[in-house]
Structures are given as C-alpha cells and as structure tokens.
C-alpha cells in the first residue's frame, strides 16, 4: 500500500458536521493549489460571457476562445447579433459544433436582450433563464463572473467531483447545486466552482483520475479510483500542471501557464477536455 493510500479516510458513516468540515477543508486545499482559478472563457463584458457560455455546450472552452474573436468583431453588441444573417453566423461559429442550434439560440437571446432589456444583459437569474439557450448553469456563470452574484456552476466536472468527494450522490444538476450549496458560505460559491472545475480538468479526470498526484487524496473517499502510483499519476496531469498551454487566449495575469494558440495556429499540446455540456 502506498503512503498516500494509507492516508485515505476510513469508509465509515460521516456526520453532517464532519462532512461540512471536510468539504470546507477541500475547498481551502483547492484554493492553495489553484490560487489563479478563473473562468476559462475569454470575455470582456457580460454579453460576451453570455454568448461564449452558450457556445461552450458540447465543445471545449479552447475551441470557443478560438472562435469568439471573429464573432465579436463582426457582432460586438446584442443589436448587431440580433440583426445577423443566420448563414453568416452559422459559418462563424461552425468550429464549436452544433452550429445551427447555437446560431438559433444566439439570435433568439440577442433579440430578447434588444427588445426586452434595452440591449443589456440582465443581472438576475430569473431573467437570464428566460433567454433562449440559457439554463441555470449558464446563468450562474454569467452572474458569478460578470455581476459578482455568487452561484454554483454544475457542469460535468463539478458534478463528478462533488460525488467523488462525497458531497452529494445526486446526478441531477439542480440537486447537486442545492446540496453542495448548503456545505459552503454563499460568498464562496463562485470561486468554489472555478476551483473544482479546474481540479476536474487537470487532475481528477473522468476516466483516469491522477489520484497519486492529488493533494486532496487524504480527504477524498474515492481515492484509488484512478492511478495511485505518484510517477504514473504525474504524467496524467493536464494544462499548466502538465506543462501545456491553458484554454484561454488571454488568460489572467496571474495564470502560471502559457496562453492557448489562436485558431489556425500550430497545434498546441494542451489536452482537450469538455468545458461545458
């Protein structure tokens, strides 16, 4: 048995207070591991973040970031995008996949912003979820990162890690959001989301988590589901932890990795994991 395996918590019933303490300690450990955690979509304003998040469905944040510069150059405002020719819009967003359905959503939400909200992105969840193509996950991304309104963003990474950490057993995103939200102060929700997603993309992968290279291992009841050998696990780390570029073409100044390449640039070695689903 490895040294890390010996640190694995015993599988026994956990009291509510013990769960809360362990969950918050995991959050603190993740904050130390990823002090630079951030949304991995490039954006300059709420409208750009809203559009980018809609485009991120069933593709990578990298592909979205490589696509949106030309999109926002052509259609910088909701009014511009609402007036777009569908065929031209589809061609611009084709690299993100499902481009016809996404174009329909973008035209619909831009028209709604123009006609119902004076061309401004609303800052309330109940308004955002009325926009075409916008659900709770997208709304929470926009609220947390463009308006400073705390929210938990449950994508596949967040859901998977929440279950592995023992924070929830639910597969339903809304239930995950509700149950995990009770474990943390509301002020932590947005950054918690970034940290957990960062960890899911870099270390705690879906098919082969890098357990042997995970600082959270002593706190994780699922330790051992992946590679436990430290050297082999280290080779599974991705993005800046694996020495590869990140997903943003314009990452924050404190990001320790390299920026992603622009569309059409030589292929980078950054691994491709789905950013949103």
CATH number at residue 69: 1.10.340.30
Instruction: Record the pTM.
Output: 0.90
- Is residue 262 in some structural domain? no
User: pLDDT grade, residue 274 (50/70/90)?
Assistant: very low
- Is residue 252 in some structural domain? no
Residue 178 shares a structural domain with residue 211: yes
* CA–CA dist 191, 7 (Å, integer): 27
Please check if 37 is assigned to a binding site. Answer: no
Split into its structural domains, the chain has a count of 2
Provide the pLDDT for residue 93. 98
- Is residue 272 in some structural domain? no
Provide the pLDDT for residue 12. 77
CB atoms within 10 A of CB 118: 9
DSSP string, 62-109: HHHHHHHHHHHHH--SHHHHHT--HHHHHHHHGGGS-HHHHHHHHHHH
Residue 182 shares a structural domain with residue 103: no
Please check if 96 is assigned to a binding site. Answer: no
Which of the listed residues 146, 164, 184 is the one where a domain comes to its end?
146
User: pLDDT grade, residue 13 (50/70/90)?
Assistant: confident
Tokens 């995990």, residue located? 180
**What integer is the mean pLDDT of 202-226?**
97
194 token code pair: 């970034």
Catalytically active residues are 137, 155
Range of the domain at 236: 3-33+151-242
CATH number at residue 27: 1.10.1670.10
DSSP helix/strand/coil, 24:
helix
Please check if 64 is assigned to a binding site. Answer: no
Residue 24 shares a structural domain with residue 157: yes
Query: Is pLDDT at 136 greater than 60 in this prediction?
Result: yes
Which of the listed residues 129, 146, 163 is the one where a domain comes to its end?
146
Query: Is pLDDT at 239 greater than 80 in this prediction?
Result: yes
Please check if 214 is assigned to a binding site. Answer: yes
- pLDDT exceeding 90 applies to what percent of the chain? 90
- pLDDT exceeding 70 applies to what percent of the chain? 92
What are the backbone angles phi and psi of residue 155, rounded to the nearest 5°? -100, -170
DSSP helix/strand/coil, 59:
strand
Residue 22 shares a structural domain with residue 77: no
Residue 141 shares a structural domain with residue 159: no
Residue 169 shares a structural domain with residue 95: no
pLDDT tens-place string over residues 36-92: 999 999 999 999 999 999 999 999 999 999 999 999 999 999 999 999 999 999 999
- Is residue 181 in some structural domain? yes
Q: What does each C-alpha distance from 8 to 5, 195, 213 come to in angstroms? A: 5, 21, 14
CB atoms within 10 A of CB 121: 22
Provide the pLDDT for residue 2. 45
* CA–CA dist 105, 218 (Å, integer): 44
pLDDT tens-place string over residues 148-164: 999 999 999 999 999 99
pLDDT tens-place string over residues 163-176: 999 999 999 999 99
Which of the listed residues 114, 146, 178 is the one where a domain comes to its end?
146
Provide the pLDDT for residue 265. 76
The number of C-alpha atoms within 13 Å of 207 and in the hemisphere containing its C-beta is: 2
pLDDT tens-place string over residues 16-35: 999 999 999 999 999 999 99
**What is the residue-averaged pLDDT of the chain?**
93
Q: Helices H, strands E: what count in the chain?
A: 13, 0
Provide the pLDDT for residue 264. 80
Provide the pLDDT for residue 6. 47
């Amino acid at each position: 048995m490895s040294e890390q395996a010996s640190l694995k918590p015993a599988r026994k019933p956990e009291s509510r207070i013990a769960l809360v303490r362990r969950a918050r300690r995991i959050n603190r450990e993740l904050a130390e591991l990823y002090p630079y955690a951030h949304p991995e979509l490039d954006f300059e304003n709420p409208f750009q973040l809203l559009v980018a998040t809609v485009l991120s469905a069933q593709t990578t944040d990298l592909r979205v970031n490589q696509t949106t510069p030309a999109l926002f150059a052509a259609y910088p405002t909701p009014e511009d995008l609402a007036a777009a020719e569908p065929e031209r819009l589809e061609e611009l967003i084709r690299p993100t996949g499902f481009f016809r359905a996404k174009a329909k959503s973008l035209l619909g939400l831009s028209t709604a912003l123009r006609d119902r909200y004076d061309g401004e992105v609303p800052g309330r969840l109940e308004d955002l979820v009325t926009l075409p193509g916008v659900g709770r996950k997208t709304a929470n991304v926009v609220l947390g990162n463009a308006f400073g309104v705390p929210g938990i963003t449950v994508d596949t990474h967040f859901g998977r890690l929440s279950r592995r950490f023992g924070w929830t057993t639910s597969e339903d995103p809304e239930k995950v959001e509700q149950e995990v939200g009770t474990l943390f102060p509301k002020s932590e929700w947005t950054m918690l989301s970034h940290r957990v997603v960062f960890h899911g993309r870099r270390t705690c992968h879906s098919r082969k988590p890098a357990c042997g290279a995970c600082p959270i291992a002593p706190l994780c009841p699922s330790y051992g589901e992946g590679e436990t050998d430290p050297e082999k696990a280290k080779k599974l780390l991705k993005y800046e932890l694996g020495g590869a570029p990140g997903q943003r073409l314009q990452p924050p100044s404190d990001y320790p990795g390299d920026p992603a390449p622009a569309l059409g640039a030589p292929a980078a070695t950054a691994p491709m994991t789905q950013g949103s689903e």
